[in-house]
Amino acid sequence: MAYLVYFGLPVLLLALGFPIFLILLVTAIVAVLTVTPTAHEVIQTTMFGGLDNFPLLAVPFFVLAGEIMAQGGIARRIIAMVMAIVGGVRGSLAVTTVAASELFGAMSHTAVGTVIAMGRMIYPSLKESGYNDRFAVGLIASSGAIAVVIPPSIAMILYAVSAEQSAVQLFTAGILPSILIGIIDAGFVLSYAQIKRVPLGPRARWDVIWKTSKEASWALGTLAVIFGGIYGGVFTPTEAAGVAVIYSLFVTMVIYREVDIRRFWKILVDAAFLISQILLIVTSASIYSWLLTTSGIPQQIVASIDAMHMGKWELLLILNVGLLIAGSFLEPPAAILILTPLLLPIVRAVGVNAIHFGIIVAVNLSLGMYTPPFGLNLFSSQAIFNAPLSRIYLGVLPFLLLNFAALLIITYIPEISMVLLGH
């Protein structure tokens, strides 16, 4: 009966189209009333307690900073600089899309936001440069998902809270995997451009590089503030997020002068909408995860897996497939908060490091963002590009296969994630 409530009911509600936070809340209420007898007051106590966590303060600050950067000209200048540097190579615009997605993902911390930004700024140029619609849409939809992996990722902050791990260590562990994914994607788009004989773009010119780099210098300062502050030991991730808001606001209002009071109000409203969605999921997942843990189900699953004598590589392969499927249905915050308490004891039992597993989870969920049929980036791309889903599915398929190979490399060679931590 407990398994039916904790797993069957959420699947049923998801199929009926209920929002994630409501699915988790309804499941928790039904569990309290039926299979996990406990005081009803525990629901609101645990929900509010789930927000009483200092690292979680980084989430609203990073979201707000990302909105300011996206709407205040910071992202546009960085993309222009990357295009100027990479120009003159066959496939340079496609490589620019990959590189700019990594940079913008590091600043916006949201996969859908990265897809929207890249779609508005690069999609028309991709079409004009000879790339067909299927490839252009697939490239943008898949590249945008890197925001889930590249630090400072909101998904990693939520995993750090849920798994009681260091967010800074997770950020550090995510650097090389995100670069690996970018290199693999860049290699593929360069090969594609050569095979399809995509026209050459304008050659790189030092005067253009100098001009765009000069204009982007203040924008790049955002990354310097965030990463320099965190890894230099000046800020905690939460403090770095707050400083990033102040810095990006100063740059967009004083230096670039693209944000006035009216525009800032719109940015605040857009950020508040996204923040409220994330925190609603956090509060609902808190009570669901607590009840699931106290029910003893995770311990039963660990015991069952131990009894099967499954090897580490087999277990990780099964979990990768399961996480990929879950990521195609659930947004990363919900998937992390629901699955981490369930899966972490299982992988720890076979000797997998919690930090390394956090990277595996993040990469899986990034792939899930554009895994057919329900990946969130797919529907975002459909709305932005007005393209049929069948075309988008075909466009993302090569990137999905390539990045699944990257996922297996990251999974079975933990040194890629752990070497910067000295492990």
Is-cis flag, bond preceding 345, omega within 30?
no
Q: How many domains does the chain have?
A: 1
CA 76 vs CA 22, 124, 208, 388: distances in Å: 37, 14, 15, 28
How much is the pLDDT for 242?
86
Burial class (CB in 10 A: 0-12, 13-18, 19+), 164: exposed
- Domain housing 65: 2-421
Output DSSP code: residue 145: G
For residue 155, the SS3 value is helix
Both tokens of 3, joined, read 């398994």
| Amino acid (one-letter) located at 193 | A
pLDDT digits (tens, 9 = 90+) for 373-385: 767 777 777 777 7
pLDDT at 108 over 90: no
pLDDT digits (tens, 9 = 90+) for 134-176: 888 888 888 878 878 888 788 888 899 888 898 889 989 999 9
How much is the pLDDT for 184?
92
